[in-house]
Amino acid sequence: MTDLAPESPAEDGNAKPYSVSELAFALKRTLEDAYGFVRLRGEISKVTNHANGHVYLTLKDERAAIDGVVWKGQVRGLSIRPEQGLEVIVTGKITAYPAGSRYQIVIETMEAAGVGALLAQLERLKAKLAAEGLFAPERKQPLPAMPGVVGVITSPTGAVIRDILHRIRDRWPCRVVVWPVVVQGDQAAAQVAAAIRGFCALSPTGAVPRPDVLIVARGGGSVEDLWPFNDEALARAVVECSIPLISAVGHETDTTLIDFVSDRRAPTPTAAAEMATPVLAELKALVSDFGSRMHRCGGRVVEERRARVIHAERALQRVPDLVRLAEQRFDIVSGRLGAALAKNAAAHERDLVRVASRLSPLLLQRPQAVQRQRLDAVAVRMQPAVRRGVERAAERLTSLAKLYLSVDPDRPLQRGFARVARADGSLVRAGAELVSGETVAMTFGDKVTRNAVVDGETADPVAAPVPKPARSKKSATSPQGELF
């Protein structure tokens, strides 16, 4: 530590001067050495949560105030959250801020100064969560009627777990899965919240089955002992839980924040076990009672139907009476049937005789003769027409035969002509088309084809008169018509 006592006067009679920084840091070291550990009580005001994670605040009482700071690494370890107006007891060391010539306390721990402060903080947190609708009854889940697996979150060494297991064993045969946690101290809230999330993450088909209902249980204690169950993070973990959850923290008169957000609150851990499970003996008795009631109802229905049948039987006629009446009607009808058939046959015979007297073969022969005469007349008229049609068809056939002979390409070959074709099979129609040395094929009237080579110069073709086509002797109005 730098000695701040004035030095002896120098030869010039003046003290040695200090720089501002030297004086400020010397005072800082003096405060830290003299007040390295301080326990301070006061009311929090002007709380500032900085973006880098540090918390700056002011502690005050009736006559003085001191600035305080909680570094980022210490904020998570605080047992309570700094809030304006909360009376707290803090521990830390006094230091100075050289840049502003101010002294402050670096806070390491913080706890509420009394029960009243804790309850005030709890009431503010309850009001905040209630405004968000986390206490609303409509968001709470119903408990399963017959759970197969019950999850319990509590201390594994206390009397609470033994009471719950004993009560469940007496009431309902099911599997109980215990997630051990501490239920008091700074780590209690975080462990309980982790256990709730862990149960929700289980698979129904895994080695550890997913519970149908959860019980968070703890025995009674003081407000400070139960304070971890007033943690905001734990309350939000209960709200996010997808499994119905029963809160059984403390005795019947103890109330924590988890009781408001859970799906059901139990006054004691034993009562929570009773809420979570039904009574097997009562269910058996209920089923037996339902069976008895169903049997009695079925018996009453049968008796009622039997009475209705008996009443309907009295109104019905006896079967022998119904059969005798039918037999009597049958005998009467069968006795009348023979006479009725004979009478009907005689009536039809009279009608037939009356109609037969008007029938004779001439009625059929006369229409036949008329039709035969008509047929002969038609045949006489059709013979000339048929003959003329045949003659016209013969004449057209003869004309077509002559026309075929006139257009036959091989007929001119019989008169000494020849058909000339190139090597590719195309016909030669004019001599000017041929060139010297070209090979041609000549077909004669006997169907013999000879090859020849064109020789000599190509002469200028002389235009030959185009013969006029012979006119048909038949007129345009001839019945035979024209082929072209």
Q: What is the pLDDT along the chain (484 residues), one digit of tens a residue?
A: 444 444 444 445 567 787 888 888 888 888 878 888 899 988 888 888 888 989 999 998 878 889 999 998 888 888 788 887 788 889 999 988 887 778 899 999 988 776 566 677 788 888 889 999 999 999 999 999 999 999 999 999 888 999 999 999 999 989 999 999 999 888 899 999 999 999 999 988 888 999 999 999 998 887 778 888 988 999 999 999 999 999 999 888 778 899 999 999 999 999 999 999 999 988 889 999 999 999 999 999 999 999 998 888 777 767 777 787 788 888 888 888 888 888 999 999 888 888 877 777 777 778 888 888 888 888 888 888 888 889 999 999 998 988 887 787 877 887 788 888 888 888 888 888 888 888 888 888 787 888 888 885 544 444 444 444 544 444 444 444 443 3
Lookup result for tokens 């206390």: 158
98 within domain boundaries: yes
96 within domain boundaries: yes
| 97/104 Cα distance (integer angstroms) | 7
| Confidence at residue 237, expressed as pLDDT on a 0 to 100 scale | 94
338 within domain boundaries: no
Same domain for 252 and 131, yes or no, is: yes
CB contact set of 196 (below 8 Å; sequence gap of 6+): 153, 214, 216, 237, 238, 241, 245
| 438/423 Cα distance (integer angstroms) | 9
Query: Which alpha helices (H) appear in 357-462, and where do they start and end?
Result: 362-406
Last residue of a domain, one of 297, 332, 367: 332
Contact between 124 and 227 (Cβ < 8 Å): no
Same domain for 266 and 218, yes or no, is: yes
Helix H or strand E encompassing 336: helix 319-356
Same domain for 293 and 320, yes or no, is: yes
Contact between 23 and 14 (Cβ < 8 Å): no
203 within domain boundaries: yes
Contact between 230 and 259 (Cβ < 8 Å): no
Q: Give DSSP secondary structure letters for 215-277.
A: EEEE----HHHHGGGG-HHHHHHHHH-SS-EEEEES-TT---HHHHHSSEE-SSHHHHHHHHS
Q: Which of 87, 148, 154, 77 is nearest to 119 (CA)?
A: 87
Q: Which of 163, 111, 177, 128 is nearest to 272 (CA)?
A: 163
Terminal C-alpha separation, the chain: 142
Lookup result for tokens 């469940």: 168
88 within domain boundaries: yes
Last residue of a domain, one of 301, 332, 363: 332
The domain in which residue 231 lies consists of 123-135+147-278
Helix H or strand E encompassing 283: helix 280-315
360 within domain boundaries: no
Q: What is the CATH number of the domain that holds 226?
A: 3.40.50.2300
Q: Which of 200, 196, 206, 199 is nearest to 229 (CA)?
A: 196
Last residue of a domain, one of 332, 347, 369: 332
| Confidence at residue 484, expressed as pLDDT on a 0 to 100 scale | 33
Same domain for 223 and 80, yes or no, is: no
Same domain for 131 and 71, yes or no, is: no
Q: What is the CATH number of the domain that holds 99?
A: 2.40.50.140
The Cβ of residue 90 has, within 10 Å, a number of other Cβ atoms equal to 24
| Confidence at residue 14, expressed as pLDDT on a 0 to 100 scale | 65
The Cβ of residue 113 has, within 10 Å, a number of other Cβ atoms equal to 15
Same domain for 267 and 285, yes or no, is: no
Same domain for 130 and 271, yes or no, is: yes
Helix H or strand E encompassing 441: strand 439-443
Same domain for 95 and 158, yes or no, is: no
CB contact set of 342 (below 8 Å; sequence gap of 6+): none
214 burial (CB, 10 Å; 0-12 / 13-18 / 19+) is buried
94 within domain boundaries: yes
Same domain for 130 and 261, yes or no, is: yes
Same domain for 172 and 230, yes or no, is: yes
Q: Domain tally for the chain? A: 4
Same domain for 284 and 274, yes or no, is: no
475 within domain boundaries: no
Same domain for 152 and 264, yes or no, is: yes
Q: Which of 276, 266, 272 is nearest to 172 (CA)?
A: 276
